[in-house]
Amino acid sequence: MNKKLDRRKKYTRMVLKDSLISLLQTKQLATITVKEICKSADINRTTFYTHYKDPFDLLEKIEEEIIADLNTYLNQYNIEQEEESLQMTERLLAYIASKYNICQTLLNENGDHSFEQRVMDVARTFLINNWTDNNEMGTDVSEYAGTFLIGGSIYVIKQWLANNMDQSPEQIARLINSAKIR
């Protein structure tokens, strides 16, 4: 009986997330109502409120799930080794491709930039914590270089998503990894 409830709970959360993402493709978050989400998901409002406080809470949970996944991928590799760095980037891009609809919606030009900022913060923290000490720049310059690399990488990914992933994750990973600060 417990597994059945867990599956129902997972299904309900999945359709609510899908409904919100679908609505975000045409509307700003502030204009989306619980009623619209529920209608799209074919779920009643009481069920919505069992899982989330409001559309902002639902979006935050979607973003948190993606951020947690990104952290997991980032922490599996040693970026000081070029081959591992490339593998990490490829896996991140494959993950983004598997979540195309969500990532494209959250990173598009009409979206709230808080998700993009959260992604930048995660990547910047990871990069600074793992930055090789053998670079000739000081710590302050390394921080700027990291911001430059991360910002450029995010915009490459946004362009890739906007172009319906017209290149393979491997090709984009090679492009991103080829941009190194010397």
Lowest pLDDT segment from 9-23, 46-60, 107-121, 157-171: 107-121
- Cα 7 to Cα 38, 44, 68, 95: the distances in Å are 19, 18, 22, 23
106, 120 Cβ separation under 8 angstroms: no
Upper half-sphere CA count for residue 123 (Cβ side, 13 Å):
21
> In which band, very low, low, confident or very high, does the pLDDT at 133 lie, cut at 50, 70 and 90?
very low
Given the candidates 1.10.3720.10, 3.50.50.60, 3.30.499.10, 1.10.10.60, the CATH classification of the domain at 2-52 is 1.10.10.60
For 84-108, what is each residue's pLDDT tens digit?
778 888 888 999 999 999 999 998 8
Residue 5 pLDDT greater than 70, yes or no:
no
Domain boundaries, given as residue ranges, for the chain = 2-52, 60-178
For 20-54, what is each residue's pLDDT tens digit?
999 999 998 999 999 999 999 999 999 999 999 99
Lowest pLDDT segment from 81-95, 120-134, 167-181: 120-134
Rounded to 10 degrees, the C-alpha dihedral 143/144/145/148 comes to 120
145, 137 Cβ separation under 8 angstroms: yes
- Whether the full predicted model's pTM is greater than 0.85, yes or no, is no
Residue 31 corresponds to which tokens in the numbers above? 């204009």
Q: What pLDDT, on the 0 to 100 scale, is given for residue 125?
A: 78
Greater confidence (82 vs 145) lies with: 145
